[in-house]
């Protein structure tokens, strides 16, 4: 598989949230996995995981607590959800608590 050099460079402020929006199939999840290799990843394209967390959102906190603090020093990556579906469903996208990277 051919790899492409990415010009994007994300340095997240500590204890902040961020969204990475973009078209489908352009490598957002791949970029995040390569940029943050020690991060815990929750792939919401895994239907079982998605349904489980949708029914009981507090399970995310429980799973993170079970992982341990050392593993949580890197960003936590949630990937696989559709921004279009989130917007259409009027989801509260962290109510302004997400970090906006200056362009």
pLDDT digits (tens, 9 = 90+) for 44-94: 888 899 899 989 999 999 998 998 888 788 888 888 756 555 556 555 555
- What CA–CA distance (Å, rounded) separates 26 from 17? 21
Please report which confidence band the pLDDT of residue 23 belongs to, taking 50, 70 and 90 as the band edges. confident
Residue ranges of the domains in the chain? 28-83
Secondary structure of residue 78 in the 3-state scheme = strand
CB atoms closer than 10 angstroms to residue 75: 20
Phi-psi region of 35 (alpha: psi -120 to 50; beta: other; left: phi over 0): alpha
The pTM for the full model equals 0.67
Whether the pLDDT of residue 42 is over 70: the answer is yes
**Are the C-beta atoms of 55 and 21 separated by less than 8 Å?**
no
Section 23-41 average pLDDT: 85
Secondary structure of residue 55 in the 3-state scheme = helix
Mean pLDDT of the chain: 77
Beta strand segments in the chain, E: 41-43, 77-79
């Amino acid at each position: 598989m051919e790899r492409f050099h990415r010009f994007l460079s994300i340095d997240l402020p500590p204890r902040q949230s961020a969204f990475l929006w973009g078209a489908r199939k352009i490598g957002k999840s791949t970029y995040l996995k390569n940029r943050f290799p020690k991060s815990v990843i929750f792939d919401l394209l895994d239907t079982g995981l998605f349904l489980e967390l949708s029914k009981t959102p507090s399970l995310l906190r429980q799973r993170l607590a079970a992982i341990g603090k050392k593993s949580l020093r890197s960003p936590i990556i949630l990937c696989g959800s559709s921004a279009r579906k989130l917007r259409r469903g009027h989801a509260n996208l962290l109510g302004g608590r997400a970090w906006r990277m200056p362009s």
